[in-house]
Structure 1
Amino acid sequence: MGFLSRLFYNFLLILGLISLSPFWVAYLGLVPKARAGFWKKLGFYPPDLRQKLSTKTKPRLWFHAVSVGEFNAIKTLIPELAPDYDIVISTTTQTGQDLALRTFPELVVLYFPYDFRPVIQRVLRLVQPDLVIITETELWPNFIDITTRKCRIPLILINGRLSKRSFNGYLWIQPLIKPCLWQITHLYMQSQMDADRVSELGNLSPEQLTVIGNLKFDLIPTVDSDKRAFLSKLLNIHPGDTVLTFASTHSGEEQLLLESYIRLKKDFPELKLVLAPRHPERLPEIKSLLNGKAISYSVRSQLSEQDPNRQPVVVLDSIGELLTVYSLSTIAVMGGSFIERGGQNPLEPLSQSVPVIFGPYMHNFAEICRLVGEGRAGYQVPNQTELMDAVTGLLTQPEIYHMVAENGLQLIENNRGAKEIIHKAIRGYVKIKASHAP
């Protein structure tokens, strides 16, 4: 990032901090999740974390994943790298942080720092990475500038994507984003369309970009059989049951989806529903909506072996159980796609031989959406009527259902391979860094 770009960007940061400080103070005071990791995001870590960071016996990789979706993409990379490298994982959200800690309790997990230069400098001194790996579309100018230009640490972007909406938004600040992209050592993009957009935005050379597909195809989820049996009993879902899962739903679309469920239940009286909101803290809102529609339901967190589910609808307000729920499901409807949120990743249900249905707004997963359509592994529907038609078609035509389910597994198998490319790249960049060390 050039001097004038750095100056202008940091001027805007300081101006925004000063002018919006009353609102930020109020926001931090009123919203608990906004306070999560506040001091850690300023680079103030507890003594035990500083001690872990100071103990560096091998080359260190710093993986950054914003939240749950990005973390799920990178977690398949880490087990094979852990024997040879010290690994640090950062996230931005509390849900991402919690999942990373549960998945890799032996690793250092921290919050990604705020993009202020003194904060970034402090954190880089503590972490001492030999390579930084950022996931998807995380472009923080100060972090990238200090990491690559001042500290001479290679930084790569993996599983890169740039939706049409994000591309149009970045065009407004292209003078800031272009030099930021120039400083990234290499960008590994999901599709040619993503590569073309980022190339146009940053005026990048072809040598700086590689299209490798989506890393999430290499995440082969395995469902623990004991956990599956436990959830089966707890949720009262058994072989032969017809289960519809509304996955990762958002405010504004549950109304439509629940209306669809009510109508479908007239034709399929035994139809069960798992409603999994993207943000479990929205449980009071979900309960109010269900009560307003006179739908009988249970809440996952309130169930126990002594008191399992006895209702046709379960609200999944837990973290880390959705994959297991998919394995118990008949059809998965992806949330975030019936309102303009950009959709959710449909690969997990596909990996469990579960056909997927999603709405018209899948711009965050446009390439996967295209592949699912071409591979006949699921359906994209424009409205509520066609959503119900798609569900009805799958439930009444077993031969079509099994074909779509098998196509989903084949789609995943056909698009694997990005993990090996990234592994090779990581090892190569660490060797180059070591060879250039003084």
Structure 2
Amino acid sequence: TVKLANTADISKKVLESGHLLANHTYSHPVLTKLSSDKREQEVSKTNSLLEQIAGKKTAFFRPPYGAKNADLIKEIESQGMQTLMWNIDSVDWGDPIPESIVQRVLKEISETQKGILLMHDIHKQSVAALPTILEELVKQDYTFLFLKDGKLSPYTLARTGTNDTKASTENTLDNAKSSFYRQNWAVVIGINDYKNWPKLRHCISDANGVEEILINKFNFKKSNIIKLLNTEATKERIVKTLDDLTNTNKISKEDRVFFFFAGHGATRKLPSGKDIGYIIPVDADIEASQAKSISMTQLQEFCELIPAKHLYFVIDSCYSGLALTRAGALSPNTQNYLEQVTKRPARQILTAGGADQQVADNGPEGHSIFTWAFLQGLQGIADIDGNGVITASELGAYISPVVSSLSKQTPAFGNLVGSEGGEFIF
């Protein structure tokens, strides 16, 4: 028995407006990673719902993330559907700026001259960008085609002759309110050129990108950011930098401290059978060791020594051995939520992946996939509840599925010992 939720009325309105409903699966998984039985459930379950809404069988299918193979296509065809893909990606899922989306799409269309454009109506930046895209294409005399009953027919869009559809960036994230913190401090580390470990490509770019957004968007003073690149990022310098942040004459309980590391990570098996994770300084030996590497135990000790109320580690490395807690997080619907979470202590961490995973050092815009997703999240996409600020928890919730869908990494997020329900706020 198929039981429709109240949200099915939205789908019915979409149909009544002349649009097409097609199958995109029930829970948006990467189908090529599922068994054939699981794939069949995802597709047939959605078909049952769509047939109940539309009153007829579904003719078209699009795999989540565009992930498909010969077996999947054969299974879709056996259910009487045709796979319908795209050739122009707006990248609206990773770009929070409507004007940037417009520019990218129009450039792609000018090169291809025809095709199917991919956009997502779940993003406010997409809704803002689309009218401008359509208006410009009308001006350039492009023909729009409407798909009905398996046939393409011309669809006419009228010229408006106004600027009402101009995309706006007014909804981009405001700077974090200065009242949350007395001072902002940051340690930003990037290492490409290791002495004993394989060289990396994008860690310097990652560190520079993080520094830039901290200064330009979140009011961090450049003088309060300690940046260590390549040969500067020895174990001694990193530990000395963290030790300086334990100075109570410098760091107040009303401050926040942000720590970013892009470089190698490693995991070591202890005699007890437990794992311990390390970040690898530029001068570390090829074997992770207490002498030349920095363990998660050491970072945890600094968590307890640094007096700032909020401390957030973002580490673009893969390793295991994190001692994460849940720290009784408040619901965002709690009365005076921001006031409460900014007063409570927070010790939070986000890492790129686990011990058996490799960092994807080949992401968009000259960054690793993890740091690229992190920067995109800070541009506003990670503001899940739309309240104008981004919490460390929201970044964790946003980044993990994005990175997992684009690489073989599964980012880990959580609270370290010492957190008491607070949230690091951007």
Q: Could you say whether these structures have the same fold, taking a TM-score greater than 0.5 normalized by the shorter chain as the test? A: no
Question: In terms of Rg, which structure is larger?
Answer: 2
Give TM-score scaled by structure 1 length: 0.29
Query: Which structure carries more helix by proportion?
Result: 1
Give TM-score scaled by structure 2 length: 0.29
